[in-house]
Amino acid sequence: MLNNSPFSPASPEAQAITHLFIFVGIVILAIFVLVATLVLYAVIRFRHRPDGAEPRQVFGNSRLEKTWTIGALLTVAVICIFAIRTMHEADASPRPGEKPNLVIVAHQWWWEARYPESSVVTADEIHIPVGKPWLVELKSADVIHDWWVPDLGRKMDAIPGHPNHFWIQADKPGTYLGTCAEYCGAQHAWMRIRVIAEPEAEFKTWEQQQLEVPPIPVSGEAAAGSKLFNDLTCVNCHTVAGTPAQADIGPDLTHVASRETLAAGRLKDTPENLGKWISNPQAYKPGAHMPDFNLNPAQVQELVAYLETLK
């Protein structure tokens, strides 16, 4: 799960970076030991003596100077070769015209995820099949954000008007946590990422479930909530498949009740928290673009009843 240690890579890309990190660390340690030993030797060997005699004065030694100049150049050259190799392994260029498996759009302050092949759209919780290298196209809808999932070794800026690409892959099933790593405004801290890596069959099941169009409730509180949802202008920002709500300003809510968290990780996705969030979003994410509609408790209850049908 979440290790957040450079020594526990969970993808081939993270592993390549870890190997380089360890290699460079060993080189640095060797240089430190060498320099520290020589300094200590000089301090002890040439320390002030009671007889006060000056040691022999030396001005330059061309053989030594050549050795450490060439030695340093070779060391940097070797590190450079390993670094270039790592860059190819960790950030291979997609083939020209290669279609992304996943399009991620960063918003203030949540992540939109689009699966072009299946046309699934979701938010904040990104499901991927385990063990497969997926090409991600990363975009921004507003300001610069930064996609960062440490265990998978993935960190990339989302720049408005300039899509970036990276590969994502997880060796083992699990939930890999991440966050936005570029200050992007008031709620930068609540722009969390969950990458959920599943075996192929489970991933397919999830995808099928995401493609289902939830039935529109016809009676009870849920039906009243469904009507409220359309009347209160929720539809101006959100999408719910099979309804007039088809906007993409805010997260797609077609399957909101099947997610683990709300508001990009700010709250656990429970009916109670959903009620708290829609009755006063600004209390949980001050500055968020979700307005406070000053709903009364009955309206909140109806909306929650409706949204909970969106599994």
Give CA–CA dist 274/254, Å, rounded. Answer: 15
Q: CB of residue 189 vs ligand CUA: minimum separation in angstroms?
A: 8
Which residue, 180 or 307, is less far from ligand CUA as judged by CB? 180
Which residues have C-beta within 8 Å of that of residue 209, sequence separation ≥ 6?
255, 258, 311
Q: CB of residue 188 vs ligand CUA: minimum separation in angstroms?
A: 3
Helices then strands, each counted (H, E), the chain = 7, 12
Residues in 153-212 that interact with ligand CUA by CB under 6 A:
180, 182-184, 188, 191
Which residue, 17 or 184, is less far from ligand CUA as judged by CB? 184
Burial 194-224 (b: 16+ CB within 10 A, else e): bbbbbeeeebeebbeebeeebeebeeebbbb
User: Which residue is associated with the tokens 């909970």?
Assistant: 308
Q: CB of residue 17 vs ligand CUA: minimum separation in angstroms?
A: 22
Nearest to 94 by CA among 157, 164, 144, 37: 164
Q: CB of residue 258 vs ligand CUA: minimum separation in angstroms?
A: 24
Which residue, 145 or 266, is less far from ligand CUA as judged by CB? 145
Q: CB of residue 221 vs ligand CUA: minimum separation in angstroms?
A: 35
Which residue, 178 or 225, is less far from ligand CUA as judged by CB? 178
Give CA–CA dist 288/266, Å, rounded. Answer: 11
Which residue, 87 or 144, is less far from ligand CUA as judged by CB? 144
Which residues have C-beta within 8 Å of that of residue 45, sequence separation ≥ 6?
none
Which residue, 141 or 216, is less far from ligand CUA as judged by CB? 141
Q: CB of residue 231 vs ligand CUA: minimum separation in angstroms?
A: 32
Q: CB of residue 287 vs ligand CUA: minimum separation in angstroms?
A: 12
x-marked contacts with ligand CUA along 88-107 as a string, rule CB under 6 A: ------------------x-
Can you give the C-alpha Rg of the chain in angstroms? Answer: 28
Which residue, 156 or 180, is less far from ligand CUA as judged by CB? 180
Which residue, 141 or 235, is less far from ligand CUA as judged by CB? 141
Lateral strand order in the sheet of 174-180: 125-129, 192-198, 174-180, 145-149, 154-158
Give CA–CA dist 128/20, Å, rounded. Answer: 26
Give CA–CA dist 190/301, Å, rounded. Answer: 25
Q: CB of residue 124 vs ligand CUA: minimum separation in angstroms?
A: 12
Residue among 139, 145, 154, 238 that touches ligand CUA (CB under 6 A) = 145
Which residues have C-beta within 8 Å of that of residue 222, sequence separation ≥ 6?
302, 305, 306, 308, 309
Return the structure tokens found at 26.
């060993």
Calculate the alpha carbon distances from 42 to 32, 46, 52, 66, 284 in Å: 15, 6, 17, 20, 61
What are the residues binding ligand CUA (CB under 6 A)? 106, 109, 145, 180, 182-184, 188, 191
